[in-house]
Structure 1
Amino acid sequence: MNQSILFNDDVSVESQPSTLCFSAMVNGMMVQCRIETPPMGKEEALAHFKAKQFDYEMLAEQLIEDEDFQSDGSVLLSFL
């Protein structure tokens, strides 16, 4: 695991479009990580994230290392 990337414990759910969001600190800079999800309730989305959190963090770490950023500076992860 890359020591210059630290994941925060701040997962949230946005409803339009259905998106899970969490953040990472990368060399002192905040990077938003987004996962577009199929329509699901907030509790279901949070439970899904908790069950797959490690996998999502690994995907986000790879996108950050590859500098695969969206135009707004975030990284967009595939739904698992």
Structure 2
Amino acid sequence: MNQGILFNDDVNANDNKLVFTAMVNGMMVKCVLAVPLMNSETAIKHFQDHQFDYEMQAELLIEDEMYELDGSILLTLL
């Protein structure tokens, strides 16, 4: 695991999106996951069940500098 990337203990779900954040060399990066047809409670439960996998996916995207125009990264639903 990259020591320059730290994942915060925050996760929010609304508008069919799930968002958590990472600190990358002192910069906050939003990690966004589209969760269509999931209510907030279901989306957060899904994230908690697969948190390590999503953090690994986010880490790879950050390392490859796959940022969106707003500085966020978009994850793929598992």
Q: Same fold (TM over 0.5)?
A: yes
SS of 1:10's equivalent in the other structure is strand
Alignment correspondent of 2:46? 48
Structure 1 consecutive aligned stretches of length 4 or more whose deviation exceeds 6 Å = none
Alignment correspondent of 2:17? 19
Residues paired across the two proteins, number:
78
When normalised by structure 2's length, the TM-score is 0.97
Deviation at 1:39, TM superposition (A): 1.3
Alignment correspondent of 2:69? 71
Q: Following the alignment from structure 2 to structure 1, what is the Cα–Cα distance between the partners of residues 54 and 77?
A: 9
Q: Which amino acid aligns with 1:13?
A: A
State the Cα RMSD in Å.
0.5
